[in-house]
Chains A and B, each alone.
Chain A
Amino acid sequence: MVELERKDIQGIVVSAYKHLPCATYLLLRIKHAAATRAWIADRIPEITSSEGKHPALSTNLAFTHGGLQSLGLKQDALDGFSFPFQQGMDTDYRSRLLGDTQENDPNGWEWGSAANRVDLLLMVFGKDSTVVDAEVLRQQAALDRGGLTIVKAFPAGREKGTHEHFGFADGIGQPVMEGTGNKERQLQRTHHATELPVGEFLLGHANVYGVIAPGPAVKPEDDPHQLLAVIPADATGLNAEAGMHDLGRNGSYLVFRQLAQHVAEFWNFLDAASRGPNGTSNPMERERLGAKFVGRWTSGAPLVLSPGQDNPELRSENNFTYYEKDPHGLACPIGSHVRRANPRDSLGPDPQTALDSANRHRILRRGRSYGDRLKNVLVDDGADRGLHFICLNSDIERQFEFVQQTWLNNPVFSGLYDEVDPLVGDVAKGDRLFTVQAEPLRCRVQNLGRFVVVKGGAYFFLPSLRALNYLAKL
């Protein structure tokens, strides 16, 4: 059993704070670095660590590369972070691989691009909106003195339940990190758990390859108060950073994307595509086609296990694979969202190799819906709603970006042609198609819209508590 340094790890790493259904995210920009450093020092006692569970309120804090630079972190330390974090989410290269083209183009983003960059992310989670609102007011009052301005504030407004705005249960399949004790809970809840090494989510620990990936570190003379852990030499003599002070250890990369969901457009599209020959609306077929897009029924029941109709008894079921049960996608289409987002054992001739391979690209999802639920999913009310997608990983390229590019946005994923993920894919990369495999002949749903639009995003570093302390004293 791995022993985590829980006091040093921010709480959002080990918990999705399901007991705190309300959240507000404050995206901040630094005006005066010295004031912000003092502000960070004041925040440290308020930051929730991974130790213990706080019944009413939790707070976490993350930084962009620009934010760390503004704080005064030295260049050699800044250069130790991974490339995607250094470059940011909005470069041309990353737009190509993330599918941020056309309506998703960073030039149109409300936050996170060069024109409206963000330095800090303050996340407040509470048991209800009263608690969150009060805490946010208190936090806001301290911002000015902390040399910070608000770029964007995403207020609470989350309803109970785990269904996202299209109406499907979300967040069922999640890997668990070793040492958290989450495995048992996950097994109980979903009958399946993939436990991954700590280094898949936290820097400075052995990852799925059994090695510690290089991370950001500072020279001993730049940490005179010994706030950070010293990187030990390892047995193989490979550790180039031995003797340096570890800025990355127990920290993680946090990916944040604001995904607006066009709920009425989505359901009207499904409605039109599922009408009978006489042109009348067919609610059952509509729901079935929606389930084919997602790979689970609205309750969460997986199509692999319940291909014919929804079965709420299986709403949290995650114990299934594709290779044996559904190799050709007749139950759960090859291109459906859940199959693309985690292909499990389906890619490649050998299921075990495929499963091991797929598990090198997992992320911890910590996202939440925002905005009010649409009353009638077929009638647009003009309001903004969607998902604040947040995930944690230690290697943005191998984990988040890989899932996004090689699985979700890949027009030739698993032998398909010209189609991308029907929910979140970049439709410009495909022919706006979605194939529903069937016997004797598949059906291709045509002219898909862009049901999800990216409105902002950035890569953040979620430091350890020790690293926070170091940043406060720069």
Chain B
Amino acid sequence: MTQTILTFISKVKPDQADTLSKLLDQMGDNPETNSYIPFRSLKRLHFASLVLHQSSDYGPYLVFENNFDGTLDEYLPDLYQQAANGLHQIYGYCQDYSVASASDRQGLLNYLRAHVVYPNAYHIGNTGRSAERILQEGDLRTALELQADDLVKNGKAQSAQSAATALQQYVRTDSKWAWAVPTIGPREPFQQKFLAWSRLIFFGLLAIVLLPVLLVPAAVWLLVLRYKESTDPVLNDSADAGNVEQLLDKENRTRSVQNHMASITIVKPGWLRRSTLWLVLWAVNLLARARATHGELSGIPSIHFAHWSMIDDGRRLLFLSNFDGSWENYLDDFIDKAASGLTGVWSNTLNFPRTYFLLWGGARDGPRFKAIARDMQTVTNVWYSAYWDLTVQGIDNSSSIREDLLNVTGSATASALLQRL
């Protein structure tokens, strides 16, 4: 099972932005079943968002984020079927939308295809699992917890093996769990893993082979970069209070606290910064494909879907993230565990804290980094999660429970299973 991460990006007619904003607010109040795009009925969908971003230089943009199972070709028919009228209405506020009616299926789909932006780099927390499977495995875990409660209450949890057997029995006998058979695909197909590692190794070797040739240009690049970063302006004020207030209003609304972050930043002028950013994102993606496949991105265990896209011919950087926990926790994790990576990316955008040799300094200046992160962040108008109360780690645990449950062979495997409850 593969997942696709993409955005549809459109320019909004400037005089229609306010009307569109009101429509989006309406949607945002009821992401599950609103009449424009009733997200709950899109079974392939994991997370989605709509962001109306205003900028004096670029005008209003509409960014429609989709993280779903399968390919775009598999997803679009669903989207059209559930939301043709809503999409037609929404994109009616956009500049180059000329489809006459929502019933023009080909026209609408062509419009969407023409506005697809695939990210330069992305991360998926729970690879290989469809939205449907994640929900099912969550239900199974909840049911098993209740079974385990009964076992404890009735004194039937004497040994690990007997308790595990009782749980197995429960799943085998109730037809409700017939889907939970061990033939469900792995979290990461071998082919995918092989490809990702092959690419990483290939480019690693290539870099070593080309080292003698690259050495001089790389040194020149580094010197120029070092000069630039010592003179680039840096944000020193605290974050814009008005913007922060709007952002806070939307945060921490779900029970176990998932949040969304959308940010659009201006890449520092000049081809050097643009190409550096492109290269860093390319490398991040190469590494993430091979190494960040077990729920963590650079040690951060809380990101469901995140993507970086260079837009406007590389002049702006769009970042979207669906994560567990509070904004504060997310940013602290970034600072504590992934400061180099994120400094490597965002130090190529305006006003970032002072860096040294691209990767050092930067985000390690916690207060200034958080201030700029808030200033770069833009309000998410509509946000949808297929599983508001599940965390990346919780989803992995539920998968492990299902995988382990039917493979219990001895007391060691039984204990391991019970420890997951």
Instruction: Determine if B110 is an interface residue (Cβ-Cβ < 8 Å).
Output: no
Instruction: Determine if B393 is an interface residue (Cβ-Cβ < 8 Å).
Output: yes
CB neighbours of B337 from chain A (8 A): 353, 357
Query: Within the complex, which residue of A214, A415, A444 is in contact with B394, where a contact is CB–CB below 8 Å?
Result: A415
Given contacts A93-B248, A349-B299, contact A442 B234 (CB under 8 A): no
Instruction: Determine if A372 is an interface residue (Cβ-Cβ < 8 Å).
Output: no
Nearest A residue to B367, CB-CB? A213
Nearest A residue to B398, CB-CB? A417
Instruction: Determine if A32 is an interface residue (Cβ-Cβ < 8 Å).
Output: no
Given contacts A353-B337, A357-B336, contact A440 B237 (CB under 8 A): no
CB neighbours of A442 from chain B (8 A): 148, 152, 418, 421
CB neighbours of B244 from chain A (8 A): 83
B331 to chain A, nearest CB (A): 9
CA distance A415 to B256 in the complex (A): 12
Q: From residue 343 to 368 of chain A, which have CB atoms closer than 8 A to chain B?
A: 348-350, 353, 356-357, 360-361
Given contacts A93-B251, A236-B354, contact A406 B157 (CB under 8 A): no
CB–CB A441/B253 < 8 A: no
Contact with B along A440-456 (1 / 0, CB 8 A): 11111010000000000
Instruction: Determine if A141 is an interface residue (Cβ-Cβ < 8 Å).
Output: no
Query: Within the complex, which residue of A239, A361, A395 is in contact with B236, where a contact is CB–CB below 8 Å?
Result: A239
Nearest B residue to A437, CB-CB? B419
By DSSP majority rule, is chain B's interface helix, strand, loop, or mixed?
Answer: helix
CA distance A98 to B163 in the complex (A): 38
Which stretch, B203-211, B307-315, B322-330, touches the partner chain A? B322-330
Query: Within the complex, which residue of A79, A357, A402, A444 is in contact with B328, where a contact is CB–CB below 8 Å?
Result: A402
CA distance A145 to B145 in the complex (A): 64
Q: From residue 220 to 248 of chain B, which have CB atoms closer than 8 A to chain A?
A: 234, 236-238, 241, 244, 248
Instruction: Determine if B414 is an interface residue (Cβ-Cβ < 8 Å).
Output: yes
Contact with A along B342-368 (1 / 0, CB 8 A): 000000000001100000000011111
Query: Within the complex, which residue of A93, A328, A356, A444 is in contact with B145, where a contact is CB–CB below 8 Å?
Result: A444
Given contacts A214-B237, A240-B237, contact A441 B256 (CB under 8 A): no
Q: From residue 35 to 85 of chain B, which have CB atoms closer than 8 A to chain A?
A: none
CB–CB B394/A441 < 8 A: no
CB–CB B367/A214 < 8 A: yes
CA distance A211 to B148 in the complex (A): 50
CB neighbours of A252 from chain B (8 A): none
CB neighbours of B333 from chain A (8 A): 357
Instruction: Determine if A398 is an interface residue (Cβ-Cβ < 8 Å).
Output: yes
CB neighbours of B255 from chain A (8 A): 411, 429
CB neighbours of A410 from chain B (8 A): 256-257, 325
B350 to chain A, nearest CB (A): 16
Q: From residue 401 to 446 of chain A, which have CB atoms closer than 8 A to chain B?
A: 401-402, 405-406, 410-412, 415, 417-418, 429, 439-444, 446
CA distance A209 to B368 in the complex (A): 11
A18 to chain B, nearest CB (A): 32
CA distance A412 to B335 in the complex (A): 22
CB–CB A353/B299 < 8 A: yes
Interface core residue of B160, B326, B335, B364 (most chain A CB under 10 Å): B326
CB–CB A209/B366 < 8 A: yes
B137 to chain A, nearest CB (A): 13
Instruction: Determine if A207 is an interface residue (Cβ-Cβ < 8 Å).
Output: yes
CB–CB B163/A440 < 8 A: yes
Of the four ranges (under 10, 10 to 19, 20 to 34, 35 or more), the interface on chain B belongs to: 35 or more
A211 to chain B, nearest CB (A): 5
CB–CB A96/B148 < 8 A: no
CB neighbours of A353 from chain B (8 A): 299, 336-337
CB–CB A83/B368 < 8 A: no
Nearest B residue to A242, CB-CB? B236
Query: Within the complex, which residue of B157, B241, B325 is in contact with A79, where a contact is CB–CB below 8 Å?
Result: B241
Contact with A along B144-181 (1 / 0, CB 8 A): 01001101100001111001000000000000000000
CA distance A328 to B420 in the complex (A): 10
Instruction: Determine if A137 is an interface residue (Cβ-Cβ < 8 Å).
Output: no
Given contacts A214-B237, A348-B299, A397-B328, contact A411 B366 (CB under 8 A): no
CB–CB A207/B366 < 8 A: yes
CB neighbours of B365 from chain A (8 A): 209, 211, 238
CB neighbours of A417 from chain B (8 A): 145, 394
CB–CB A93/B249 < 8 A: yes
CB neighbours of B301 from chain A (8 A): 348
Nearest B residue to A209, CB-CB? B366
CA distance A369 to B57 in the complex (A): 57
CB–CB A356/B336 < 8 A: yes
CA distance A83 to B163 in the complex (A): 51
CA distance A122 to B337 in the complex (A): 41
CA distance A50 to B415 in the complex (A): 54
CA distance A474 to B261 in the complex (A): 42
CB–CB A439/B367 < 8 A: no
Given contacts A328-B419, A412-B256, contact A405 B326 (CB under 8 A): yes
CA distance A236 to B58 in the complex (A): 33
Instruction: Determine if B378 is an interface residue (Cβ-Cβ < 8 Å).
Output: no
Query: Within the complex, which residue of B149, B238, B326 is in contact with A406, where a contact is CB–CB below 8 Å?
Result: B326
Query: Within the complex, which residue of B252, B353, B364, B394 is in contact with A96, where a contact is CB–CB below 8 Å?
Result: B252
CA distance A241 to B238 in the complex (A): 11
CB neighbours of A350 from chain B (8 A): 299
CA distance A357 to B329 in the complex (A): 10
CB neighbours of A80 from chain B (8 A): 238
B235 to chain A, nearest CB (A): 9
CB neighbours of A83 from chain B (8 A): 238, 241, 244
Given contacts A349-B299, A402-B329, A441-B157, contact A415 B397 (CB under 8 A): yes
B152 to chain A, nearest CB (A): 5
CA distance A418 to B418 in the complex (A): 18
CB–CB B252/A97 < 8 A: yes
Inter-chain pairs besides A238-B353, A406-B328, A440-B414, 13 sampled, C-beta below 8 Å: A79-B241, A83-B244, A96-B252, A211-B367, A213-B366, A238-B368, A241-B236, A328-B419, A353-B299, A401-B328, A411-B255, A429-B255, A441-B163
Pairs A–B under 8 Å by Cβ, sample size 13: A83-B238, A93-B248, A93-B249, A96-B252, A96-B253, A97-B252, A210-B364, A238-B234, A238-B354, A406-B328, A440-B160, A442-B148, A444-B152
- List residues of B whose CB falls within 8 A of some A CB: 145, 148-149, 151-152, 157-160, 163, 234, 236-238, 241, 244, 248-249, 251-253, 255-257, 299, 301, 324-326, 328-329, 332-333, 335-337, 353-354, 364-368, 371, 391, 393-394, 397, 414-415, 418-419, 421
